[in-house]
Structure 1
Amino acid sequence: MGSMTFYQFLMTQRNPNTQDEVGQFANNAFYDTEFPKQSTDFDEVSKYLEENAPYLPSMTIFDDAWQSYQVVLQ
C-alpha cells in the first residue's frame, strides 16, 4: 500500500451524501482537474490547496485527511 498517492487515498473517502468534512473535501477534489494527483509530498499538496482550492474551507480538514493518509501508508 506504500505507493498510494494522497489523491488516491482521498478518493477512498468520497461519499456524495456525507456531512463529514474530509468526505466533502474528497468530493470536491474529485472535480478539481488541476489537483496534484501524483503527489505524495505534504508541502506540495498543501501549497496547491492553499493557492487553488476555494472549496476547502479550512486547511485543518486537509491536515486531518493527511494524518489519516499517513496511517494508511504504514
Structure 2
Amino acid sequence: MRSRSFYQWLMTQRKPENANEVQEFANGAFYDSAFPKQSQDFSEISNYLEENANYLASMQIFDEAWKEFLASEEEL
C-alpha cells in the first residue's frame, strides 16, 4: 500500500511561478475543495478530474503526474 495519497504527493509539486504542466495542475488542485484528497485510486481520481477539473488542460497531464507519483512511491 502506498504511504500517501496522490493529492498529498501532488501538493509537493506546487510552484507559483514558471511552473510546468504538472506543477500548474498541482496549483489548480490546491484550490479545488472537492478534490478526492485521500484517494490512491487512479480510476476514482481520473473520473473526478474528467468531470470536474476545468483547471486541468489535458488528461495527459494527469497521466504524467500519476507516473511521477508512482515512481516517487517506489523510492520510499
Tell me, yes or no, whether TM beats 0.5. yes
Whole-Å Cα distance in 1 between the matches of residues 3 and 33 of structure 2?
21
Residue identity in the other structure for 1:49: L
Match of 1:18 in 2: 18
> What is the total number of aligned residue pairs between the two structures?
73
Structure 2: segments with no counterpart, 5+ residues:
none
State the SS of the aligned residue for 2:10: helix
Give the structure-2-normalised TM-score: 0.93
Runs of 4+ in 1 over 4 A off after TM superposition: none
Is 1:59 the counterpart of 2:59 in the alignment?
Answer: yes
One-letter amino acid of the structure 2 residue matched with residue 31 of structure 1: Y
SS at match of 1:22: helix
Letter in 2 for 1:71: A
TM-score by structure 1 length?
0.95
Q: CA deviation at 1:19?
A: 3.0
Q: Using the aligned pairs only, state the percent identity.
A: 59
* Counterpart in the other structure of 1:72: 72
Partner of 1:35: 35
Extract unaligned runs of 5+ from structure 1: none
